Amino acid sequence: MQRISFYIDGFNVYHKINEYQEITGICYKWLNYKSLLESLLKPDQIIQRIYFFTAISQFKGPESVVRHNKYITAHENLRIKIIVGKFIRTKLECRVKDCTYNGIKLFEKAEEKQTDVNLALNMVLDARNNQFDLCYLVSSDSDFVPALKKVKEMGKQCGLIIPPQDKLVKVVKIDELINACYDDKLKTSNIIKLKFEQLVNHILPLQVFNPKNNIPVSMPNEYMTSEQIKELLKKEK
Protein backbone atom coordinates (compact mmCIF):
# COMPACT_ATOMS: atom_id res chain seq x y z
CA MET A 1 0.00 0.00 0.00
CA GLN A 2 1.18 3.51 -0.82
CA ARG A 3 1.33 5.70 2.31
CA ILE A 4 -0.25 9.14 1.81
CA SER A 5 0.11 12.21 4.03
CA PHE A 6 -1.89 15.42 3.61
CA TYR A 7 -0.79 18.92 4.58
CA ILE A 8 -3.71 21.36 4.70
CA ASP A 9 -3.15 25.10 4.46
CA GLY A 10 -6.28 25.93 6.46
CA PHE A 11 -6.64 29.62 5.67
CA ASN A 12 -5.91 29.14 1.97
CA VAL A 13 -8.95 26.88 1.69
CA TYR A 14 -11.02 28.98 4.09
CA HIS A 15 -10.62 32.16 2.05
CA LYS A 16 -12.00 30.41 -1.05
CA ILE A 17 -14.95 29.02 0.90
CA ASN A 18 -15.61 32.39 2.51
CA GLU A 19 -15.44 34.19 -0.84
CA TYR A 20 -17.90 31.69 -2.31
CA GLN A 21 -20.27 32.16 0.64
CA GLU A 22 -20.24 35.95 0.23
CA ILE A 23 -21.33 35.54 -3.39
CA THR A 24 -23.80 32.64 -3.10
CA GLY A 25 -24.85 32.48 0.55
CA ILE A 26 -23.77 28.82 0.66
CA CYS A 27 -21.54 27.96 3.62
CA TYR A 28 -19.06 25.09 3.41
CA LYS A 29 -17.16 26.13 6.55
CA TRP A 30 -18.12 22.98 8.52
CA LEU A 31 -16.09 20.98 5.98
CA ASN A 32 -15.07 17.44 6.93
CA TYR A 33 -11.46 17.17 5.77
CA LYS A 34 -11.10 13.53 6.80
CA SER A 35 -14.09 12.43 4.73
CA LEU A 36 -13.04 14.59 1.78
CA LEU A 37 -9.46 13.34 1.68
CA GLU A 38 -10.50 9.71 2.14
CA SER A 39 -12.74 10.08 -0.92
CA LEU A 40 -9.70 11.03 -3.02
CA LEU A 41 -7.71 7.88 -2.24
CA LYS A 42 -7.04 5.17 -4.79
CA PRO A 43 -7.62 1.50 -3.83
CA ASP A 44 -3.90 0.91 -3.25
CA GLN A 45 -3.44 3.96 -1.01
CA ILE A 46 -3.74 4.45 2.74
CA ILE A 47 -3.71 7.62 4.83
CA GLN A 48 -0.61 7.90 6.97
CA ARG A 49 -1.19 11.37 8.45
CA ILE A 50 -3.43 14.40 8.02
CA TYR A 51 -2.13 17.77 9.20
CA PHE A 52 -4.26 20.89 9.50
CA PHE A 53 -2.30 24.15 9.78
CA THR A 54 -4.12 27.24 11.02
CA ALA A 55 -3.97 30.22 13.38
CA ILE A 56 -6.62 31.69 15.66
CA SER A 57 -7.26 35.39 15.19
CA GLN A 58 -8.31 37.38 18.24
CA PHE A 59 -8.97 40.42 16.04
CA LYS A 60 -12.33 39.29 14.61
CA GLY A 61 -14.06 39.10 17.96
CA PRO A 62 -14.83 36.36 20.52
CA GLU A 63 -17.56 34.70 18.43
CA SER A 64 -15.09 34.05 15.62
CA VAL A 65 -12.65 32.51 18.11
CA VAL A 66 -15.39 30.21 19.46
CA ARG A 67 -16.30 29.01 15.97
CA HIS A 68 -12.69 28.44 15.03
CA ASN A 69 -11.99 26.49 18.23
CA LYS A 70 -15.05 24.32 17.63
CA TYR A 71 -13.82 23.52 14.14
CA ILE A 72 -10.37 22.64 15.44
CA THR A 73 -11.81 20.43 18.20
CA ALA A 74 -14.08 18.64 15.73
CA HIS A 75 -11.08 17.65 13.62
CA GLU A 76 -9.03 16.70 16.67
CA ASN A 77 -11.89 14.32 17.48
CA LEU A 78 -11.33 12.81 14.02
CA ARG A 79 -7.63 12.37 14.92
CA ILE A 80 -6.35 15.01 12.55
CA LYS A 81 -3.12 16.64 13.71
CA ILE A 82 -3.70 20.36 14.34
CA ILE A 83 -0.72 22.71 14.26
CA VAL A 84 -1.50 26.29 15.27
CA GLY A 85 0.45 29.40 14.34
CA LYS A 86 -0.45 32.91 15.48
CA PHE A 87 -1.60 36.36 14.39
CA ILE A 88 0.23 39.58 15.14
CA ARG A 89 -0.67 43.24 14.60
CA THR A 90 1.43 45.11 12.08
CA LYS A 91 1.32 48.79 11.18
CA LEU A 92 1.13 49.76 7.52
CA GLU A 93 1.46 53.19 5.98
CA CYS A 94 -1.33 54.56 3.80
CA ARG A 95 -0.23 54.61 0.17
CA VAL A 96 -3.18 56.47 -1.33
CA LYS A 97 -1.56 59.20 -3.42
CA ASP A 98 -4.38 61.74 -3.18
CA CYS A 99 -5.21 61.13 0.48
CA THR A 100 -5.99 64.47 2.18
CA TYR A 101 -5.97 63.20 5.77
CA ASN A 102 -3.53 65.26 7.84
CA GLY A 103 -3.10 62.86 10.77
CA ILE A 104 -0.78 59.89 11.17
CA LYS A 105 -1.30 57.77 8.07
CA LEU A 106 -0.79 54.39 9.71
CA PHE A 107 -3.31 51.60 10.11
CA GLU A 108 -3.17 48.23 11.81
CA LYS A 109 -3.46 44.92 10.04
CA ALA A 110 -3.68 41.40 11.46
CA GLU A 111 -0.98 39.23 9.90
CA GLU A 112 -0.83 35.45 10.07
CA LYS A 113 2.53 34.08 11.19
CA GLN A 114 4.24 30.66 11.33
CA THR A 115 1.55 28.70 9.46
CA ASP A 116 3.46 28.44 6.17
CA VAL A 117 6.73 27.69 7.94
CA ASN A 118 5.08 25.02 10.12
CA LEU A 119 3.59 23.31 7.08
CA ALA A 120 6.77 23.35 5.01
CA LEU A 121 8.88 22.19 7.94
CA ASN A 122 6.63 19.24 8.82
CA MET A 123 6.39 18.17 5.19
CA VAL A 124 10.15 18.14 4.70
CA LEU A 125 10.86 16.49 8.07
CA ASP A 126 8.32 13.75 7.38
CA ALA A 127 9.93 13.13 4.00
CA ARG A 128 13.36 12.87 5.63
CA ASN A 129 11.98 10.49 8.28
CA ASN A 130 10.27 8.29 5.68
CA GLN A 131 6.80 8.96 7.04
CA PHE A 132 5.08 8.81 3.64
CA ASP A 133 5.52 7.68 0.05
CA LEU A 134 3.41 10.47 -1.41
CA CYS A 135 2.42 13.77 0.18
CA TYR A 136 -0.34 16.11 -0.92
CA LEU A 137 -0.26 19.84 -0.32
CA VAL A 138 -3.79 21.24 0.04
CA SER A 139 -3.22 24.83 -1.03
CA SER A 140 -2.81 27.17 -4.00
CA ASP A 141 -0.03 29.19 -2.35
CA SER A 142 3.14 29.22 -4.45
CA ASP A 143 5.25 29.94 -1.33
CA PHE A 144 5.34 26.15 -0.85
CA VAL A 145 7.22 25.50 -4.10
CA PRO A 146 10.65 25.18 -2.38
CA ALA A 147 9.27 22.66 0.14
CA LEU A 148 7.75 20.53 -2.61
CA LYS A 149 11.01 20.56 -4.54
CA LYS A 150 12.91 19.50 -1.42
CA VAL A 151 10.51 16.59 -0.89
CA LYS A 152 11.21 15.42 -4.44
CA GLU A 153 14.96 15.71 -3.86
CA MET A 154 14.52 13.29 -0.96
CA GLY A 155 13.07 10.68 -3.29
CA LYS A 156 9.42 11.15 -2.33
CA GLN A 157 6.44 11.88 -4.55
CA CYS A 158 4.39 15.01 -4.04
CA GLY A 159 1.01 16.13 -5.29
CA LEU A 160 -1.26 19.14 -5.15
CA ILE A 161 -4.91 19.43 -4.11
CA ILE A 162 -6.19 22.78 -5.35
CA PRO A 163 -8.95 24.50 -3.35
CA PRO A 164 -12.08 25.15 -5.42
CA GLN A 165 -11.68 27.80 -8.10
CA ASP A 166 -14.43 28.63 -10.55
CA LYS A 167 -15.96 31.67 -12.23
CA LEU A 168 -17.46 32.88 -8.94
CA VAL A 169 -14.18 33.25 -7.04
CA LYS A 170 -10.76 34.63 -7.79
CA VAL A 171 -8.60 32.23 -9.77
CA VAL A 172 -4.99 31.97 -8.60
CA LYS A 173 -2.14 31.03 -10.91
CA ILE A 174 -0.64 27.71 -9.85
CA ASP A 175 1.85 27.01 -12.65
CA GLU A 176 4.83 27.00 -10.28
CA LEU A 177 3.12 24.56 -7.93
CA ILE A 178 2.20 22.24 -10.80
CA ASN A 179 5.78 22.26 -12.05
CA ALA A 180 7.08 21.55 -8.55
CA CYS A 181 4.87 18.43 -8.39
CA TYR A 182 6.01 17.09 -11.76
CA ASP A 183 6.95 13.42 -11.60
CA ASP A 184 9.85 12.66 -13.94
CA LYS A 185 9.06 8.92 -14.01
CA LEU A 186 5.33 9.25 -14.67
CA LYS A 187 5.84 12.29 -16.93
CA THR A 188 2.94 14.15 -15.31
CA SER A 189 2.03 16.27 -12.30
CA ASN A 190 -0.14 14.73 -9.58
CA ILE A 191 -2.91 17.33 -9.40
CA ILE A 192 -6.43 17.12 -7.93
CA LYS A 193 -8.76 20.07 -8.57
CA LEU A 194 -11.58 20.37 -6.05
CA LYS A 195 -15.02 21.76 -6.97
CA PHE A 196 -17.47 23.46 -4.63
CA GLU A 197 -20.30 21.05 -5.41
CA GLN A 198 -17.95 18.22 -4.46
CA LEU A 199 -17.82 19.52 -0.88
CA VAL A 200 -21.53 19.11 -0.15
CA ASN A 201 -21.07 15.39 0.57
CA HIS A 202 -18.25 16.09 3.01
CA ILE A 203 -19.77 18.24 5.74
CA LEU A 204 -19.31 17.34 9.39
CA PRO A 205 -22.39 16.17 11.33
CA LEU A 206 -24.17 18.49 13.76
CA GLN A 207 -22.14 16.96 16.58
CA VAL A 208 -18.68 15.40 16.44
CA PHE A 209 -17.92 13.23 19.45
CA ASN A 210 -14.58 12.80 21.19
CA PRO A 211 -13.70 9.08 20.86
CA LYS A 212 -12.19 8.99 24.38
CA ASN A 213 -14.84 10.64 26.55
CA ASN A 214 -17.79 10.85 24.12
CA ILE A 215 -18.10 14.62 24.68
CA PRO A 216 -19.49 16.31 21.56
CA VAL A 217 -18.57 19.54 19.83
CA SER A 218 -21.54 21.13 18.05
CA MET A 219 -21.69 22.92 14.72
CA PRO A 220 -21.88 26.73 15.10
CA ASN A 221 -25.32 28.14 14.26
CA GLU A 222 -23.78 30.30 11.53
CA TYR A 223 -22.66 27.24 9.56
CA MET A 224 -24.69 24.88 7.35
CA THR A 225 -25.36 21.17 7.36
CA SER A 226 -25.09 19.10 4.21
CA GLU A 227 -28.90 19.00 3.97
CA GLN A 228 -29.19 22.79 4.18
CA ILE A 229 -26.60 23.23 1.45
CA LYS A 230 -28.37 20.72 -0.80
CA GLU A 231 -31.63 22.65 -0.41
CA LEU A 232 -29.94 25.88 -1.49
CA LEU A 233 -28.32 24.15 -4.46
CA LYS A 234 -31.75 22.87 -5.55
CA LYS A 235 -33.13 26.41 -5.49
CA GLU A 236 -30.24 27.61 -7.64
CA LYS A 237 -31.16 25.07 -10.31
Mean pLDDT of the 147-153 span: 96
pLDDT digits (tens, 9 = 90+) for 64-102: 899 999 999 999 999 999 999 754 555 556 666 666 666
Q: Are 165 and 197 in contact (CB under 8 A)?
A: no
Q: Are 51 and 83 in contact (CB under 8 A)?
A: yes
Q: Is 19 exposed, middle or buried (0-12, 13-18, 19+ CB in 10 A)?
A: middle
pLDDT at 188 over 60: yes
pLDDT-derived band at 237 (thresholds 50, 70, 90) equals low
pLDDT digits (tens, 9 = 90+) for 204-226: 999 999 999 999 999 999 999 99
Instruction: Answer whether 0.85 is exceeded by the pTM.
Output: yes
Please report the pLDDT score of residue 1 as a whole number.
94
Please report the pLDDT score of residue 91 as a whole number.
54
Which residues touch 77 (CB under 8 Å, ≥6 apart)? Answer: 208, 209, 210, 211, 217
Please report the pLDDT score of residue 110 as a whole number.
47
Strands 182-183 and 188-189: antiparallel
pLDDT at 146 over 70: yes
The CATH superfamily label for domain 2-236 reads: 5'-nuclease (3.40.50.1010)
Please report the pLDDT score of residue 55 as a whole number.
87
Q: What kind and span of H or E run contains 159?
A: strand 157-162
Q: Which of 7-21, 102-116, 190-204 has the lowest mean pLDDT?
A: 102-116
Domain boundaries, the chain: 2-236
